[in-house]
C-alpha cells in the first residue's frame, strides 16, 4: 500500500525514455527510434503514450513554444512492476518546416500518462538542418568568404530567410546577402537579395534563379554562378530592383513534396508573426511621430480606419497543430 501511495506522487513509478540517433536531421527525413518504458515498484495503469514535437521561437516578447505534431504510440494498458516494454517510434519531418537556427529550436516531449498518478515525461532536443541542395549553396557562399549571421533564419509569413555577410571578396561592396529557397524535384529555386553599398546609402538588388540538380553536383560551378550573380548586382544594382515573386510562389509538383523552406511557419506561428509585424508598425509610427512632432493619436486613427487594430492580431488561446489537427498524420 505504501509503495502505491509513493508511486502516485512519482516515487518508484514507471519511467519513459525516447531513444533515437542523436544527429542533425534534414526536413523531409524520417526519424526512427524506440520508446523504452520500465515499470516501477507497483503495477500501474497507463492511459496513453504519445510523443509531441514542439517548436520554440525567440520573439521580442520572449520565447514562445508551440506544438508541431502529436504522435500517439499506444492506448491504455497496464505496466507491471519492473516490466520493460519497447515501442517503435517513427516520424517524418515536414519538408517545409523552418530549420533550426538561433531563434528557432525543436524538442520531442514524450508523455506517459499514468492513471491517478504523476505523468512521466522525457524531453529530447531535435536539430533540423537545411536540405542538401541548400547546404551546397551555403558551402558555395563560404567559398566566396561569406559567413552566416547569428540572426540568420528568421521566419515571416512567407517562409524562412537566411543572412550572410562578406569577409573577403565583397567586403566594402556588400553589407549582406539574404536568401530564400524552395526545393523542387529537379533542383532548388533561389531568391537572392544583395544589399549593395552605394556611397552613403544602400541599394537592394534582387535576383531570382533556379539551379538544376545536375549543376548542384559540382560545388565549384555553383560557387562561380553565385559569384557571377552577386558581381552583376554590385556593378549595376539599379537593374535588379524588381519585387520578388516568392510571395506568390506555388510548388511545381504535387502536395507534400518540397516547397519553400519555412513555408509552413505561418500555419503554426500565424498569430505570433502578425504580432511581430504589428510591433514593427508601431515602432515606425513612433519614430515618425517623434521626428516630425506629430501626435501619435492621428496615426492611431489611421490604423483603425485601415483595420490595423490590436485586437485583430491577437492570438487565439488554443492553437491548432501545424497540420491536420495534430493527429500525427502527414
pLDDT tens-digit readout, 276-289: 544 544 454 455 44
Measured N-to-C along each axis, helices 219-235 and 132-143 cross at an angle, to the nearest 10 degrees, of: 60
What 3-state DSSP class applies to 135?
helix
pLDDT tens-digit readout, 110-146: 999 998 777 889 999 999 999 999 999 999 999 999 9
Q: How far apart are CA 131 and CA 184, in angstroms?
A: 11
CA-closest candidate to residue 5, choices 41, 52, 58, 46:
41
Count, residues in the chain = 330
CA-closest candidate to residue 132, choices 21, 223, 252, 213:
213
Find cell 507497483 and name the residue. Answer: 42
Q: How far apart are CA 30 and CA 283, in angstroms?
A: 42
Partners of 252 in the beta sheet? none
Question: What is the pLDDT confidence band of residue 245, given thresholds at 50, 70 and 90?
Answer: confident
Q: Return the beta strands (E) in the chain as ranges.
A: 15-20, 25-26, 30-38, 44-59, 62-74, 77-79, 84-92, 104-114, 120-126, 128-129, 146-148, 154-156, 159-166, 174-184, 187-198, 201-212, 259-260
CA-closest candidate to residue 26, choices 124, 100, 125:
100
Question: What is the pLDDT confidence band of residue 160, given thresholds at 50, 70 and 90?
Answer: very high
Q: Decide if 242 contacts 26 (C-beta within 8 A).
A: no
pLDDT tens-digit readout, 266-275: 666 665 555 5
Residue 192 has pLDDT above 70, yes or no: yes
Q: Decide if 202 contacts 175 (C-beta within 8 A).
A: yes
- The reported pTM is 0.74
Amino acid at each position: 500500500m505504501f509503495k502505491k501511495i509513493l508511486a502516485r506522487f512519482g516515487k518508484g513509478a514507471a519511467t519513459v525514455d525516447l531513444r533515437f540517433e542523436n544527429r542533425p536531421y534534414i526536413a523531409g527525413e524520417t526519424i526512427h527510434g524506440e520508446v523504452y518504458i520500465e515499470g516501477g515498484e507497483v503495477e500501474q495503469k497507463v492511459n496513453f503514450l504519445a510523443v509531441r514535437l514542439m517548436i520554440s521561437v525567440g520573439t521580442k516578447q520572449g520565447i514562445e513554444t508551440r506544438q508541431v505534431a502529436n504522435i500517439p504510440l499506444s492506448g491504455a494498458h497496464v505496466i507491471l512492476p519492473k516490466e520493460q516494454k519497447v515501442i517503435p517510434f517513427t516520424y517524418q519531418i515536414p519538408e517545409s518546416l523552418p530549420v533550426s537556427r538561433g531563434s528557432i529550436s525543436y524538442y520531442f516531449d514524450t508523455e506517459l500518462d499514468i492513471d491517478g498518478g504523476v505523468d512521466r515525461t522525457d524531453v529530447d532536443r531535435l536539430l533540423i538542418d537545411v536540405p542538401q541542395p541548400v547546404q551546397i549553396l551555403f558551402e558555395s557562399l563560404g567559398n566566396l568568404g561569406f559567413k552566416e549571421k547569428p540572426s540568420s533564419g528568421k521566419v515571416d509569413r512567407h517562409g524562412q530567410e537566411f543572412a550572410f555577410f562578406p569577409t573577403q571578396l565583397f567586403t566594402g561592396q556588400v553589407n549582406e546577402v539574404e536568401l530564400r529557397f524552395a526545393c523542387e524535384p529537379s533542383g532548388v529555386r533561389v531568391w537572392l537579395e544583395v544589399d549593395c553599398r552605394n556611397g552613403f546609402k544602400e541599394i537592394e538588388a534582387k535576383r531570382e534563379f533556379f539551379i538544376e540538380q545536375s549543376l548542384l553536383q559540382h560545388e565549384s560551378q555553383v560557387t562561380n554562378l553565385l559569384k557571377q550573380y552577386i558581381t552583376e548586382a554590385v556593378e549595376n544594382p539599379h537593374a535588379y530592383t524588381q519585387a520578388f515573386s516568392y510571395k506568390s510562389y506555388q510548388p511545381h509538383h504535387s502536395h507534400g513534396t518540397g516547397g519553400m523552406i519555412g513555408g509552413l511557419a505561418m500555419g503554426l506561428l500565424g498569430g505570433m508573426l502578425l504580432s511581430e509585424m504589428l510591433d514593427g508598425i508601431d515602432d515606425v509610427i513612433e519614430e515618425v511621430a517623434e521626428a516630425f512632432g506629430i501626435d501619435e493619436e492621428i496615426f492611431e486613427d489611421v490604423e483603425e480606419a485601415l483595420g490595423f487594430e490590436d485586437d485583430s492580431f491577437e492570438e487565439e488561446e488554443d492553437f491548432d497543430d501545424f497540420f491536420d489537427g495534430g493527429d500525427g498524420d502527414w
